[in-house]
Structure 1
Amino acid sequence: MSVMTFLLLVLGVTTLSEGRSVVFENRRIDTVWVGALGSAGGGTPKGGGWEMRPGSLVTIDMDDPWAGRFWGRTGCLFDGYGHGRCQTGDCGRRLQCNGTGGQPPATFAEVQLGGWGGQDFYNINLGDGFNIPITIEPIEKQGGSDHYRCNPASCPTNINALCPPKLRSDGGCKSACLAFNTDQYCCRGRFNSAQACRSSSWPRNYPAFFKGLCPDAYSYPFDDHRSTFTCEKTAYRIIFS
């Protein structure tokens, strides 16, 4: 389980009046329906879902502190009441997810604003597979010598085009855990530790496939040290590409 996913599960966030901006940008040639899910007590922006046509920008003022995740849904069709479904990333067959998580496989951008010691934590999570490329980057600060400090976290590659046959899904690429649902691939049961769950010892090292294409993204449980970025007191941009 990633540090960010752990925070989403256990962190109770107190809502404050002050906040920061998150800018969403759709650089794709097709429409993306954004999904959003806040942690307990943190609230969910725009009801948890909104449409973004190609080239569009949406800026949302977020509470600080706040923790949650965003993802892009594709192939969606909704009626006038916001009921329908999406080919990837669906959340309860509705436009506004309203507390429902995205159906994998999907690429998740995870954010914690104002975390431990006032730090922000953010990452791209492929632990549930991939559907579209996403980047999250600080807007007002630039990183220095530390790669994981105030630099973009990104998975810019179209993994679907290269997805191994056994992981392929309609519009996405599954993780090994999602595809095979074994204790070893899911790092659970007797494999639920960093020592016991080493992807290099799996029958096939599927996380190495994801990591090779998107080295900055979280690829399987216990991959935090090579995927968690930090910054503070800045706005962020989330790009669907």
Structure 2
Amino acid sequence: MAISSSLHLLLLLFSLGIVASSATVFTLQNRCTYTIWPGTFSGNGVATLGDGGFLLAPGASVQFSVPPTWSGRVWARTGCNFDASGNGKCVTGDCGGLLKCPGGGEPPVSLVEFTIGRDASDKDFYDVSLVDGYNVGLGVKAVGGTGDCQYAGCVEDLNRNCPADLQVTDSGSVVACKSACAAFNAPQFCCTGDHATPQTCSPTQYSKMFKDVCPTAYSYAYDDASSTCTCSGSDYLITFCPN
């Protein structure tokens, strides 16, 4: 049987290692009791997921194919109001007043961060970060991969017990909890200046509070050892307000 020119080209590309491996699948699931507007940002320009931002109703989920080597972040925005052109404002996690985020979310905001490997044998790196503060609970579960494939997340609602000097309020309710860096802008909290190395920037009473409640999430800039997760060849379930 003759091989078509297109199939012949595909086989040639495979033999040269040019055809990329199958994409990683991200499933974003909203278990919050309210609507959120997830924001996404690609740090290396490989691809923008969901055009940078979209509405996700309570109980709803959405899937995205993520190409190899993708690196970026995902977060929830709350209390948003956008017009038909996608212009508006969010109470937390806002990104320039736009539905489709051109950059990262405004702190305080809980983040999921990813770097996807080159292929199924290469490691993916992922974490849930509270370095920029907290607004919504987050969880990341690896599905079908090999390796450590740890669960990363912050399941508890930190807004309930947020210290008064870190609180962000709206209409009398605490809607987000600032990082100590954002609240006080001091080197010991921001890991800057004389505190810009792992040896000189230690956990503070505020980062320890975050860590005690959410032990698998980044609590400050150099919290790598217990917060960075790895897995190979996996898909990922990203849950907002996990149980």
5 Å-filtered alignment, 1:193-204, equals: 193-199=197-203, 202=204
Q: Matched residue of 1:32: which SS? A: coil
Question: How far does residue 42 in structure 1 lie from its aligned partner after superposition?
Answer: 1.6
Residue of structure 1 equivalent to 2:116: 113
Question: How far does residue 115 in structure 1 lie from its aligned partner after superposition?
Answer: 6.1
5 Å-filtered alignment, 1:7-26, equals: 16=20, 18-26=22-30
Residue of structure 2 equivalent to 1:3: none
1:75 aligned to 2:79? yes
Equivalents in 2 of 1:57, 1:73: separation in Å?
15
5 Å-filtered alignment, 1:6-45, equals: 16=20, 18-45=22-49
Residue of structure 2 equivalent to 1:150: 149
> Which residue of 113, 121, 126 maps to 1:122?
126
Equivalents in 2 of 1:31, 1:41: separation in Å?
28
109-118 or 207-216, which deviates more? 109-118
> Which residue of 43, 58, 64 maps to 1:60?
64
Q: Matched residue of 2:189: which SS? A: helix
CA deviations 1:81-131 (Å, max 9, x no partner) are 11101000000101110x311000000001111069710011000001000
| 2:146–2:231 CA contact under 8 A, matched in 1 | no
Residue of structure 2 equivalent to 1:94: 98
Residue of structure 2 equivalent to 1:235: 235
Structure 1 gaps, min length 5: 1-14, 144-148
How large is the Cα RMSD of the aligned pairs? 1.9
| 1:142–1:151 CA contact under 8 A, matched in 2 | no
Question: How far does residue 142 in structure 1 lie from its aligned partner after superposition?
Answer: 7.2
5 Å-filtered alignment, 1:175-186, equals: 175-186=179-190
Residue of structure 2 equivalent to 1:211: 211
Q: 4+ residue runs of structure 1 moved beyond 6 angstroms?
A: none
Equivalents in 2 of 1:36, 1:16: separation in Å?
23
Letter in 2 for 1:40: N
5 Å-filtered alignment, 1:168-179, equals: 168-170=167-169, 171-179=175-183
Equivalents in 2 of 1:104, 1:16: separation in Å?
35
Question: How far does residue 18 in structure 1 lie from its aligned partner after superposition?
Answer: 3.7
| 1:30–1:54 CA contact under 8 A, matched in 2 | yes
5 Å-filtered alignment, 1:182-193, equals: 182-193=186-197
Residue of structure 1 equivalent to 2:12: none
TM-score by structure 2 length?
A: 0.85
| 2:24–2:66 CA contact under 8 A, matched in 1 | yes
Structure 2 gaps, min length 5: 1-18, 170-174
Q: Matched residue of 2:194: which SS? A: helix
| 1:24–1:58 CA contact under 8 A, matched in 2 | yes
Q: Percent identity?
A: 40
Q: Would you say how many aligned residue pairs link Structure 1 and Structure 2?
A: 218
| 1:25–1:240 CA contact under 8 A, matched in 2 | yes
Letter in 2 for 1:166: D
Residue of structure 2 equivalent to 1:221: 221
